[in-house]
Amino acid sequence: MKKNQSQEEFIKGIWRDNPVFVQVLGMCPMLAVTNSAINAVAMGMATFFVLVGSSFLVSTFRNVIPKQVRISCFIIIIATFVTIADYTLLALVPGVHKELGAFIPLIVANCLILGRQEAFASRYPTKLAVMDAMGMASGFLLALLSLGAVREILGDGALFGVNLFGENFEPWVIMILPPGGFLTLGVILLFFNWFKYKKDEFLEDVAAAERSES
């Protein structure tokens, strides 16, 4: 039972409660760094590290942190992890770090992370909190990757820097520029709406069929 529950927490972050596509959280880094797939992955990994680390700490110390100053405590914990991620990226992949620039420190202001601390990590035991954080972060990584891949393929004709279409492809430059981010995410959300709409319709049909049978 215990195992099932933690599995459940992990899976809900990836699909049913996907932080970007369903809850529309963490939009700023989402749009700003997804002009290529590799940047999207770096950003996703950094967010993963920060979210899992701070969820772990927050839920371990959830009984020690006074209720009145909990938000400030969360933010300081998050900021510490972001600083670690920032300097680690600078040491390991200076090129990517330079391209992401100010957006790594800005992980602090990602509402997804603070939201998970407040809504989940500060209320549940450590194991569940870590599973939840991992699920949410994987969902975020997946969303970043899909957006980054679409934008890089259309805007550059490449994926992870590997040319896909040969020389005759005319790059759709607007997709790499800022408007492309808004448009791509808009279209993806539209697809999610359509999916939900169809699912509701299907469930209604099933219910209607059952009623007429009885």
Interface residue list for other proteins (CB under 8 A): 24, 27-28, 30-32, 72, 75-76, 79-80, 82-83, 86-87, 101-102, 105-106, 108-111, 114, 174, 177-183, 185-187, 189-190, 193-194, 197
Least separation in angstroms between residue 131's CB and other proteins is: 26
d(CA 168, CA 65): 60
Nearest to 106 by CA among 121, 85, 120: 85
Phi, psi of 48 (to 5 degrees): -55, -50
Least separation in angstroms between residue 185's CB and other proteins is: 5
Whichever of 128 and 139 has its CB closer to other proteins, that residue is 139
Whichever of 83 and 146 has its CB closer to other proteins, that residue is 83
The answer to whether the beta carbons of residues 176 and 59 sit under 8 Å apart is no
Least separation in angstroms between residue 1's CB and other proteins is: 36
Whichever of 37 and 100 has its CB closer to other proteins, that residue is 100
Least separation in angstroms between residue 134's CB and other proteins is: 23
Task: Please name the residues in contact with 108: beta carbons below 8 A apart, sequence gap of 6 or more.
Answer: 75, 78, 79, 82
The answer to whether the beta carbons of residues 132 and 14 sit under 8 Å apart is no
Angle between helix 2-14 and helix 126-156 axes, rounded to 10 deg = 20
Whichever of 125 and 186 has its CB closer to other proteins, that residue is 186
